[in-house]
Amino acid sequence: MLHRLTDLQIQLMDVIWAGGEASPGQVHEALRAQTGMARQTIGTLLARLEKAGVLTHRVQGREHVYRALVTREQVQRATLQNVLERLFGGSVPALLGHALEAREVRPGDAERLREMIREWENVEGERE
């Protein structure tokens, strides 16, 4: 199971996903205005993500250059699965019902959901 990532870890990963790879200096520069963190702190956080199996690195000169071992989609799926299980008891209808009740649905979302359900039903029907 993929480790749950914090908001800060996702910010770091966003920089790496966007560029394919990045050094601590590049991540620091990209996030300096948002986080105000020191370059060394960024390097430590990247090393921890590597230890967790989310990143790997290669050495270029005197610097580590990190690349992701997981995709944004894998992180999204793991995060959603965690929320679904912890907060909604694994119930997709409960999750969607909450979103609808909270008015978190934009124009066109309901039709897009209907379309996605129809596509899912077609794929599931083909598997049977």
SS (H, E, C) 108-125: CHHHHHHHHHHHHHHHHH
Domain topology for 1-90? Arc Repressor Mutant, subunit A (1.10.10)
The mean pLDDT of 75-94, rounded to a whole number, is 92
Higher pLDDT, 125 or 101: 101
The mean pLDDT of 24-34, rounded to a whole number, is 96
Which residue, 56, 55, 62, 15, is CA-closest to 35?
15
What integer pLDDT is reported at residue 128 of this predicted model? Answer: 67
What integer pLDDT is reported at residue 89 of this predicted model? Answer: 95
Predicted model pTM = 0.78
Where are the chain's structural domains?
Answer: 1-90, 91-128
Q: Residue 63 and residue 19: Cα distance in Å, rounded?
A: 17
Give yes or no for a contact between 95 and 82, defined as CB atoms under 8 angstroms apart.
no
Strand partners, 56: 67
3-state secondary structure of 36: coil
Percent of the residues in the chain that have a pLDDT greater than 70, as a whole number? 97
The mean pLDDT of 38-62, rounded to a whole number, is 96
